[in-house]
């Protein structure tokens, strides 16, 4: 078990390192700022559904008016990790919350 | 002679007649000359005026050209301003496009706990847990939560609940590094904050001195696997692992330094057959060292000073509309090992330790019952759980129990709740008195 444990840890560290290198290259890039466009209505509808199905699983649904757009940006990123949401789901929820606050 | 006279006379007459004509011609010539001079002067004047007009036209043309140039420049500026205003309007609609953003969140609670046990009824200050979230673009987020507690003797304790960097590797995968809440089960990672937890305390075995790991320090790979209409989630964690505490139990508190060469490896897989039903399974394996308390002379040589520790469990939740039903089960086993304890600082052989805990909980918001707003904000809740311990008598006496909770919550807003509840603790070790608690709490998630 001791050896297996070490091997697991080594494998995971290796994977994490590779992931870190991969992502750091994109962090250092000079990509343009995100383009600001008005979200399409279907994204807002999808966001409302995703919001209800995922956020309500653990806690009551906050009113969209509780936070500003910028605060929702960060709050949804936090919940993307905690609730295991995809990037697409997170963006849809953001679009719904911003359109509703 | 006669002819000559006629001739002379005629000539004279001619002369006589011609003289005034001659005189008249001379007068006309002078007048014409004057007129010519006047005309000449007029022409010169006209020429001067024409030159002046030409100059004026040239100046006007130059002015018009400059005006046209300025107008073109102004039009270009107007277009720029319009573009800027349009971009600003879009930005204000979609949120400020700053690279770094942050958000302060968290929760706090206050309450009262009465008991028929040895402890006096007490007001409790509860907890204040601010959490900070800092985001850089859509690449990563740093998040940390502190917990401020007032102890029973009035001191303030501060603990770091978690402090982690979340790096979004791609659309579906995140690398988490640092001190993180344990991904084992549902309660610790998602349900324990007091504004989310429907009952004042944790289920038996899922709080401190229980089986549920609280946190670990290391890294996680976690994310989502979409599969047709269903969804899988996963969290694989590697960390420093647990330590043996002074009572012989296993404490999983996210230590900052590993006390052995073995890392904990574990995680959870979740499955969503429908969006409202989640089924999860958890597993963790590691090794844990014996406890070395202050003043301990050293552990007995020749015996196992570290032991295998394994934990597994499953959980399920059904959350649809006003109904939330949950069940969780955890089971752990630690092999025997030599360890010092408070009673035996020189070290004793701690026998194999087994723990098992489960709970089931149902809450229902009365949001569709009757027409009263007051009724709509009520939420009855019931929870039953059991916690079993074998191999460590002291731990078993203090913690092994059946626990029943009933409560009634009133939601002032979606994130502010008042809870009133009763808790019956039926300890399983013979001779340990059962206890009834009366619990009141107000919690706010912000």
pLDDT digits (tens, 9 = 90+) for B248-298: 889 999 999 888 888 999 999 999 999 999 999 999 999 998 887 665 555
**Among all residues of chain B, which has the CA nearest to that of A101?**
B93
Decide if B190 touches A, using CB distance below 8 A.
yes
Q: Is residue A27 part of a domain?
A: yes
Within this chain, do residues A56 and A96 fall inside the same structural domain, yes or no? yes
Which residue among A12, A70, A87 places its CB closest to the CB of B95?
A: A70
Partners of residue B406 on adjacent β-strands? B382, B422
Over range B26-44, report the average pLDDT.
86
Q: What is the ipTM of this complex?
A: 0.76
Q: Are residues A90 and A54 in the same domain?
A: yes
In chain A, how many domains are there? 2
- Chain B interface, mutation test: which of A36, A39, A50, most B Cβ atoms within 10 Å? A36
Mean of per-residue pLDDT scores for chain B: 89
CATH number for the domain harbouring residue A59: 1.10.760
Whether residues A23 and A55 share a domain: the answer is: no
Tell whether B102 lies on the interface with A, counting CB pairs under 8 A: yes
Answer yes or no: is A45 within a domain.
yes
- Report the C-alpha gap between B446 and B444 in whole angstroms: 6
Same-domain check for residues A84 and A58: yes
Q: Flag whether residue B144 sits within 8 Å of chain A, measured between CB atoms.
A: no
Residues A10 and A46 in one domain: no
Are the beta carbons of B175 and A38 separated by less than 8 Å?
A: no
**Dmax of chain A from CA atoms?**
55
Q: What residues of A are in contact with residue B189 (Cβ under 8 Å)?
A: 82
Candidate from B224, B238, B317 with C-beta closest to A86: B224
pLDDT band per the 50, 70, 90 thresholds, residue B109: very high
Q: Summarize pLDDT for B361-415 with one digit per residue, the tens.
A: 999 999 999 999 999 999 999 999 999 999 988 889 999 999 999 999 999 999 9
Whole-angstrom Cα distance, residue B162 to residue B210?
A: 19
For helices A87-100 and A69-82, what crossing angle results, to 10°? Answer: 150
B219–chain A Cβ distance below 8 A for any pair: yes
The pLDDT, as a whole number, for residue B1 is: 43
Position with higher pLDDT, A43 vs A5: A43
Q: Which of the residues A5, A55, A66, A97 would you substitute to probe the B interface, choosing the one with the greatest number of B C-beta atoms within 10 Å?
A: A5
- Range B380-392 burial, b when 16+ CB lie within 10 A, else e: ebbbbbbbbbebb
Partner residue opposite B135 with nearest CB, options A61, A73, A82: A73
- The residue with tokens 């979606």 is B414
Report angle CA B432, B434, B436 to the nearest 5 degrees. Answer: 150
Element (H, E) at B49: helix B2-94
Residue B308 has pLDDT above 70, yes or no: yes
The pLDDT of residue B425: 96
In a domain, A78, yes or no: yes
Q: What is the rounded (10 degree) CA torsion for B214, B388, B392, B354?
A: -70
**Is A45 in the same domain as A13?**
no
Q: Is B152 left (phi over 0), alpha (psi -120 to 50) or beta?
A: alpha
pLDDT-derived band at A7 (thresholds 50, 70, 90) equals: low
Dist. CA B112–CA B440, nearest whole Å: 5
CA separation for the pair B176, B223 (Å, rounded)? 10
Residues 6+ away with beta carbon under 8 Å from B415: A59, A60, A62, A66, B195, B444, B445, B446
**Cβ(B126)–Cβ(B193) under 8 Å?**
no
What 8-state DSSP symbol labels residue A65?
Answer: G
pLDDT in tens, A38-62: 778 899 999 999 999 999 999 999 9
One domain, residues A70 and A46:
yes
Query: What are B123's strand-pairing partners?
Result: B112
Domain membership flag for residue A36: no
Residue pair B444/B107 in contact by the 8 Å Cβ criterion:
yes
Q: What is the DSSP letter of B202?
A: P
**Sign of the Cα pseudo-torsion (A14, A15, A16, A19, in order):** positive
Q: What are phi and psi of B179, to 5 degrees?
A: -95, 125
| Distance of alpha carbon B395 from alpha carbon B427, whole angstroms | 12
Q: Which of B265, B278, B287 sits opposite A8 (nearest CB)?
A: B265
E-assigned strands of B191-322? 215-227, 230-239, 243-244, 250-251, 264-274, 277-289, 306-320
% of chain B exceeding 90 in pLDDT: 67
pLDDT at B13: 62
**Which residues have CB under 8 Å from B245's CB, separation 6+?**
B251, B291
CA atoms within 13 A on the CB side of B55: 6
What's the DSSP call for residue B415? T
Residue with tokens 């209409």: B229
Chain A residues with CB inside 8 Å of B195's CB? 59
**Are A52 and A89 part of one and the same domain?**
yes
* Residue, of B219 and B95, whose pLDDT is higher: B219
Looking at the partner chain, which of A20, A87, A98 has a beta carbon nearest the beta carbon of B94? A98
Q: What angle is formed at CA B422 by the lines to CA B419 and CA B423, rounded to 5 degrees?
A: 120
- Condensed to tens digits (0 to 9), the pLDDT of residues B65-86 reads 998 998 888 888 888 877 766 6
Contact B259, B249 (CB under 8 A): no
Tens of pLDDT, residues B221-239: 999 998 888 899 999 999 9
Choose among B169, B175, B265: nearest Cβ to A5.
B265
Whether the per-residue pLDDT at B154 is higher than 80: the answer is yes
Number of CB pairs, chain A paired with chain B, less than 8 A apart: 160
Q: Which residue of A has its CA nearest to B260?
A: A2
Task: Please tell me whether residues A45 and A21 are part of one structural domain.
Answer: no
Neighbours of B90 (CB within 10 A): 14
Q: Which residue of A has its CA nearest to B106?
A: A75
Same domain for A94 and A51: yes
pLDDT at residue A1 in the model: 46
**A84 to chain B nearest CA, in Å?**
5
- E strand or H helix that includes residue B396: helix B393-399
Question: Is the domain of A71 the same as that of A27?
Answer: no
pLDDT, position B2: 47
Take residue B434 and report the two structure tokens written for it.
């059962």
Subunit contact B175:A20, Cβ cutoff 8 A: yes
Q: Which domain holds residue A96?
A: 41-100
B275 shares contact with chain A (CB less than 8 Å): yes
Report whether B164 contacts B143 (CB < 8 A): yes
Highest mean pLDDT among A14-18, B55-59, B339-343: B55-59
Query: What pLDDT was estimated at residue B282?
Result: 98
């Amino acid at each position: 078990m001791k050896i297996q444990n070490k091997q697991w840890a080594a494998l995971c560290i290796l994977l994490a390192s590779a992931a870190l290198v991969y992502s750091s290259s994109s962090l250092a890039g000079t990509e343009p700022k995100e383009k600001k466009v008005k979200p399409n209505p279907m994204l807002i509808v999808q966001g409302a559904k995703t919001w209800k199905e995922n956020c309500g699983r653990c806690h009551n649904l906050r009113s969209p008016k509780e936070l500003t757009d910028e605060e929702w940006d960060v709050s949804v990123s936090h919940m993307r990790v905690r609730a295991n949401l995809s990037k697409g789901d997170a963006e849809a929820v953001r679009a719904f919350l911003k359109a509703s606050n | 002679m006669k002819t000559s006279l006629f001739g002379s006379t005629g000539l004279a007459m001619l002369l006589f007649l011609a003289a005034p004509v001659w005189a008249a011609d001379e007068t006309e010539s002078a007048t014409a000359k004057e007129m010519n001079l006047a005309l000449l002067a007029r022409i010169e004047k006209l020429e001067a005026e024409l030159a002046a007009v030409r100059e004026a036209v040239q100046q006007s043309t130059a002015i018009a050209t400059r005006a046209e140039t300025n107008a073109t420049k102004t039009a270009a500026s107007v277009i720029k301003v319009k573009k800027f205003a349009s971009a600003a309007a879009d930005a204000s609609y979609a949120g400020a496009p700053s690279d770094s953003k942050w958000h302060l969140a968290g929760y706090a609670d206050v309450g009262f706990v009465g008991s028929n046990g040895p402890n006096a009824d007490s007001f409790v200050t509860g907890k204040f847990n601010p959490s900070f979230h800092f985001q850089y673009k859509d690449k990563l987020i740093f998040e940390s939560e502190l917990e401020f507690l007032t102890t029973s003797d009035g001191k303030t304790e501060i603990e770091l609940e978690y402090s982690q960097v979340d790096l979004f590797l791609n659309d579906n995968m995140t690398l988490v590094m640092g001190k993180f809440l344990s991904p084992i089960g549902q309660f610790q990672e998602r349900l324990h904050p007091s504004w989310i937890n429907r009952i004042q305390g944790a289920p038996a075995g899922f709080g401190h001195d229980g089986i549920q790991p609280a946190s670990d320090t290391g890294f996680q790979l976690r994310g989502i696997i979409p599969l047709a209409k269903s969804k899988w989630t996963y969290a694989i964690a590697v960390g420093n692992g647990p330590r043996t505490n002074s009572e012989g139990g296993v404490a999983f508190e996210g230590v900052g330094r590993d006390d052995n060469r073995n890392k904990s490896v574990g995680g959870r897989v979740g499955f969503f057959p429908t969006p409202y039903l989640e089924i999860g399974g958890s597993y963790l394996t590691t090794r844990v060292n014996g406890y070395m308390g202050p003043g301990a002379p050293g552990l007995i040589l020749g015996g196992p000073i570290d032991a295998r520790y394994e934990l597994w469990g499953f959980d399920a939740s059904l959350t649809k509309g006003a109904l939330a039903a949950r069940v969780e089960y955890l089971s752990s086993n630690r092999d025997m090992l030599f360890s010092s304890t408070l009673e035996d600082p020189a070290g004793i052989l701690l026998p194999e330790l087994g723990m098992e805990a489960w709970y089931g909980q149902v809450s229902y918001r009365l949001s569709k019952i009757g027409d009263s707003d007051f009724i709509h904000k009520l939420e009855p809740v019931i929870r039953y759980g059991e916690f079993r311990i074998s191999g460590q008598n002291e731990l078993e006496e203090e913690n092994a129990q059946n626990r029943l909770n009933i409560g009634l919550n009133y939601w002032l807003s979606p994130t502010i709740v008042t809870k009133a509840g009763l808790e019956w603790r039926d300890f399983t070790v013979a001779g340990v008195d059962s206890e009834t608690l009366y619990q009141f709490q107000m919690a706010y998630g912000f």
